[in-house]
Structure 1
Amino acid sequence: MRTSAFLYPWDVVGDPAAPARVAGLGVQQVTLASAYHSTRALTPRHPRHRIVTAEHAAVLYAPDGRWEGRPLRPYEAGSWAPGDAYGEAAEALEAAGLDVHTWVVLAHNSRMGAEHPDTSVVNAYGDRYPWAPCIAQPATRAYLVDLAAEAAARPGASGTELESLGWYGLAHLHAHDKIAGVSLGEAGQYLMSLCFCADCGEGYARQGLAPGELEDRVRRALEPVWRGEEPSGGWEAVERLLGAETAAATRAWREETARTLQEAAIAAVRAAAPDGFRVLLHADPVSYHCGANAGVDPEHILSVADGVVVPCTGSADALTAFAPYRTDRTDRTDRTDRTDRTTLAANLTVVSGMGGAPGTLAADAAHAVALGADELRLYHAGLASDADLAQVRTALSKLK
């Protein structure tokens, strides 16, 4: 089974021992961040530092001339990943015998929201979410498509994994987050994630909804939630709160918007990349969900991408929604060099301090395989302790 470990360039650059250490885990591949959001990350073994603070979303290489004169453009990293940090790390990992794929975070950018507030999702109360670019806006879509192509098809990379290629909503681990005082439930999260910018207003109107009336209806639907009455259930709760027809119309607009963006970004990556380049999407099989694992229609996305990376920590059940729609890729003109099926990669957290269970990795992987997975992703080799990594090595030796 092909296994890949996630890494940041700063896990490798300046640490000559890092490539051999990662290869020694028993993985064949590294999924290396080339465009990433702001974060504060631990580096438990690096000879020069223990904490890296990435102050804003950035590309971890020098962007090219396609951005000249454009107001929306990727930000370059600061001291945490200067120059072509991605390229330097990728070269070192490849020299250790590891295949390198890019890891590209797209519609998640707080600095862009702060500097260009009109690009952000706006909720029914008029509050902007600066971390969440509205993917319905034409300029934002053009930016995300070009960023996907540039950040994915880095020199030497043989594939990519696209994260946050869809709607981002309320849920976001923000600095000193204080939004958990009221339990929203899945329905409340959906209502608080609906966007009411001008472009989304036009989209709702094309679905037969009056945007102002929809805002009022959403606010009325949320009133019991603020009193502490968490709505039970998933989509059926949204239908109860909004009415089935209204709920369906909002979902139709949002799913069409995400689907067409995903199609455009994947096509742009393929146009920029060499033959045989694999394009995977971090995905959630519940199509109205927001976040890093974009909500998708499993049948549709597996007809467009080469596969998906599915969160499986705690439960691998989401794999079952994708498994029936796996197809071979012989119909793809850029895959004439080989025949294989679309990939279902199970993403398992192996950092015990972040809720992972490296000690049960072998059993968790076997369960994921039984549900349809044919590859593993391990989050995250740079963040894990030595003890966690020792358990990963043991587990992967058993899986062999």
Structure 2
Amino acid sequence: MRAAAFLYPWDVIGDPDAAERIAALGVEQVTLASAYHSTRALTPRHPRHRVVTAEHAAVLYPPDAGRWAGRPYRPYEAGDWAPGDAYGAAAEALRAAGLEVHTWVVLAHNSRLGAEHPQTSVVNAYGDRYPWAPCIARPEVRALLVDLAAEAAVRPGARGTELESCGWYGMAHLHAHDKTAGVALGDAAQYLMSLCFCGACREGYAGEGLDPGDLADAVRRALEPVWAGAGGPSGAGWPGVAELLGAGPAAATLAWRTRVARGFQEAAVAAVRQAAPPDGPAFRVLLHADPAVYRCGANPGADPAHLLSVADGVVLPCAGGGADAVLPPFAEHARRDTVLAANFTVVRGMGGSPGTLAADAAHARDLGAGELRLYHAGLASDRDLAAVAEALRALRRRPQAPS
């Protein structure tokens, strides 16, 4: 079972042992960030620092000046946390250690864009803007993100890419000093709080036969019991959304959002493929996704049949027993060459379970996963990495269950 570890460039640059350490885990690939959102990250083994603060969403390489000249929206360059071609320097060191490098590109998640250009952001039914969540229904946002996908994905020497947040982002977001846990929001309330009411989305709802003002009123009314602490709907998942909003309006909002997300995904993948080198090995394009089409975030919801007709495969969130929910719907539509990668958190401090990785990965393999993703080799402790290395050795000794 092919395994890949996620890394940031700053995990590698300045640490002469980093690349060999990652290779010693037993992974074949590193998925290396080339465009990433703001974050504060530990670097537990780095000889020069222990905490890196990426102050805003940025590309981790010099953007092409010609591509972005004269455009109102363009990628932000990184500061001193990833100066110059940080991605390129890290990728070169990893390849020298015998590792295949693929890019890791975050798209619809950019707090600085929303802060500097508020009109680009998702707006909820109460009129609150989500500066971290660009609205992918807006043509100017889509143009930025599609071109960013092409540029950030196809870096020199990369053999493929993984596009994160290639779809709707919404309410859920770990923000600086986040204080949003006072009222528990289940799946249904998260969906309602993630519905966008910017001008473009209001026109979209109208095209589905909804009055945008009435829809916003209905969302606010539906959420009143949640704010009062009375709990959410009796049904979980999409039935809960239909219970809160009404089956007809709920379906109409999902029809609009699904059409927008599909168009964005198709355009992003096409742009990457057009930018990929025409010679040499095929450039693989994977999307981070979830088979529950109404979900937002880093793993946005998508119809498995459609997504696998567009991309070469998917990276699926399988931690915490999630494999049973996310893998079978995609495995049902997988072709012989489709990549189904099971993503597991391996950092104990972030809720991961590296001690059970061998068993968890074997179960994912039995469900159809052909590859493994490890989140995140740069953030993990020495103890976690030792457990990962042992798990990968055990997994390769473990026979696959008969299909």
TM-score, structure 2 length as denominator?
0.95
Say which of 302, 311, 328 aligns to 2:317: 311
Moved more, 237-246 or 87-96: 237-246
Shift of 1:140: 0.1
Deviations 1:292-321 (A, max 9, x none): 001100111011100000011111111111
* CA–CA separation in structure 2 for the residues paired with 1:13 and 1:287: 38
Q: 1:132·1:169 contact (CA, 8 Å) conserved in 2?
A: yes
**SS of corresponding position for 2:93:** helix
What residue in structure 2 maps to residue 322 of structure 1?
330
Per-residue CA distance 1:348-386 (angstroms, 9 max, x = gap): 111111111111111111011011100000001100011
Q: How far is 1:243 from its partner? A: 1.4
Counterpart AA for 1:319: L
| Secondary structure in structure 2 of the residue aligned to 1:325 | coil
Distance 1:237 1:273 in 2: 42
Report deviation, 1:399.
2.1
Query: Are 1:257 and 2:265 an aligned pair?
Result: no
Instruction: Out of 269-278 and 50-59, give the one that drifted further.
Output: 269-278
Shift of 1:80: 0.2
Structure 1 residue 231: Cα displacement: 1.7
Matched residue of 1:295: which SS?
coil
Percent identity for Structure 1 against Structure 2: 76
Alpha-carbon offset, residue 220 of structure 1: 0.9
Shift of 1:34: 0.1
Deviating above 3 A after TM superposition, structure 1's stretches of 4 or more consecutive aligned residues are none
Equivalences for residues 92-103 of structure 1 within 5 A: 92-103=93-104
Contact between 1:41 and 1:383, CA under 8 Å: does it hold in 2?
yes
- The offset of 1:274, in angstroms, is 2.3
Letter in 2 for 1:312: C
> Aligned match of 1:378 in 370, 374, 378?
374
Match of 1:235 in 2: 238
Query: Hey, what does 1:146 align to over in structure 2?
Result: 147
Structure 2 partner of 1:135: 136
Q: Is the 8 A contact 1:5 1:381 kept in 2?
A: yes
In the alignment, structure 1 residue 189 sits paired with structure 2 residue 190:
yes
1:270 equivalent in structure 2 = 273
Residue type matched to 1:387 in 2? Answer: R
For 1:136 and 1:210, the matched residues in 2 are separated by 18
Unaligned runs of 5+ in 1: 329-340
Q: Which moved more, 1:129-138 or 1:271-280?
A: 271-280
Paired with 2:63 and 2:133, the residues of 1 have a C-alpha distance of 22
Q: Which moved more, 1:147-156 or 1:314-323?
A: 314-323
**The residue matched to 1:314 in structure 2 has which SS?**
helix
Secondary structure of the corresponding residue to residue 130 of structure 1: strand
Instruction: Map residues 36-75 of structure 1 onto 2, 5 A cutoff.
Output: 36-64=36-64, 65-75=66-76
- Residue aligning to 1:292: 298
Retained in 2: the 8 A contact 1:303–1:327?
Answer: no
Are residues 1:345 and 2:341 paired? Answer: yes
Structure 1 residue 129: deviation in Å?
0.3
Matched with 1:335 is none
Letter in 2 for 1:230: G
Which one-letter code corresponds to 1:201 in the other structure? R
Partner AA of 1:353 in structure 2: G
State the Cα distance separating 1:184 from its structure 2 match: 2.0
User: Distance in 2 between the 1:267 and 1:230 partners?
Assistant: 43
Aligned to 2:308: 302
2:222 is matched by which residue type in structure 1? A
Q: C-alpha displacement at 1:115, in angstroms?
A: 0.0
Amino acid at match of 1:107: A
For residues 385 and 241 of structure 2, the distance between their equivalents in structure 1, rounded to whole angstroms, comes to 42
Q: Measure the CA separation in 1 of the matches of 2:317 and 2:237.
A: 19
Equivalent residues of 1:279, 1:307 under 8 A apart: yes
Q: 1:267 and 1:300 mapped to 2: Cα distance?
A: 14
Residue 159 of structure 1 deviates from its aligned partner by 0.3
SS at match of 1:387: helix
How many positions carry a matched residue from both structures? Answer: 388
Question: Counterparts of 1:223 and 1:231 in 2: how far apart (Å)?
Answer: 10
Equivalent-residue separation in structure 2 for 1:271 and 1:243 (angstroms): 42
Deviations 1:116-158 (A, max 9, x none): 0000000000000000000000000000000000000000000
Q: What do the CA deviations read for 1:197-244 (whole angstroms, capped 9, x no partner)?
A: 000011001101111111111111111111112223221121122111
What is the CA-CA distance between 1:397 and the residue it aligns to?
1.4
In structure 1, distance between residues paired with 2:231 and 2:251: 21
Task: Provide the C-alpha distance between the structure 1 equivalents of 2:174 and 2:34, rounded to a whole number of angstroms.
Answer: 21
Counterpart Cα distance in 2 of 1:62 and 1:305 = 27
Other-structure match for 1:180: 181
Are 1:368 and 2:355 counterparts? no
Q: Tell me which moved more, 221-230 or 91-100.
A: 221-230
The residue aligned with 2:205 is 204
| Aligned counterparts of 1:312 and 1:211: Cα–Cα separation in 2 | 36
Root-mean-square deviation (Å): 0.8
Alignment-mate amino acid for residue 376 of structure 2: H
* Partner Cα distance (2:384, 2:76) in 1: 33
> Contact 2:359 / 2:395 at 8 angstroms: preserved in 1?
no
What is the DSSP-based 3-state SS (H/G/I as helix, E as strand, rest coil) of the residue aligned with 2:319? coil
